[in-house]
Amino acid sequence: MGLIPAAGLATRLGALPCSKEILPLPQSGSDKINRTRVVADCLLEAYKSAGIEDVYFIIRKGKWDIPAFYGDGYPLGLNIAYLMMRHPFGTPFTLDQAFPFIKDKRIALGFPDIQFSPGNVYQRLLYKQTKTGADVVLGLFAPDNPSKFDMVNYSSSGLVKQIVIKPTKTNLEYGWICAVWTPAFTTFMHEYLARILIENELEGVLETHVGTVMQAALNRGMTLATEVFHGGEVLDVGTPPDLAKAMQLGATILRPK
């Protein structure tokens, strides 16, 4: 089961003609999609390549253009459904909206505004999870700008030691951009977020990061493994400079290879 959190407001990009997930991107002559390529296609293609055909977009009110664009996913060979965000306190709460539907499933997570290659990311994550039995497997890439990513300190055996949320300065080389996890982590996150809502009912809930929940799971004794994509390419098009860079680079980086 693939999850796509798409409830953000894209404030970093300013005024947009549509939701950022369906912003048009450069087309490649080898594209198999018989329409304009958009931002979220990279992730959806990677899901499908790994045999992940059931996908939930979690959106917010006003982002109706996403279901209008993708529909039920049939043209892409996917089964796409849509859920509505309830708590606007960060991506973990957005993902948790799917809990009743996914609590007994193995989950793949990706972010629709991140373009990446190679295209076999989720095959490798699923294989690593099956092989190791880890509760979570993180896909690690070396970003140009670590301050935009959750950077990961991991052991020589590939186990996560620490997750550092968007550091201003760091010696860490790799950050996570995608993940696969088991029902055990889905349940942990659901219960962790429920406690946050109860404990912060009076003061208000601050934005929570997925990396924060993962670090809490690590502290609780859960096993977080890594799959490192040496030489992998990653580009977050969620800011104007990087969106412009994506347009300049063209379609070669914008689709999984």
Q: pLDDT tens for the chain, 257 residues: list them.
A: 999 999 987 556 656 778 989 988 876 655 555 678 899 999 999 999 999 999 999 999 999 999 999 999 999 999 999 999 999 899 999 999 999 999 999 999 999 999 999 999 999 999 999 999 999 999 999 999 999 999 999 999 999 999 999 999 999 999 999 999 999 999 999 999 999 988 876 556 678 999 999 999 999 999 999 999 999 999 988 778 888 887 776 545 545 45
C-beta separation of 180 from 61 below 8 A: no
The amino acid sitting at 19 is S
Domains and CATH numbers, the chain: 2-9+17-234 (3.90.550.10)
Assessment of whether the complete model's pTM goes beyond 0.75: yes
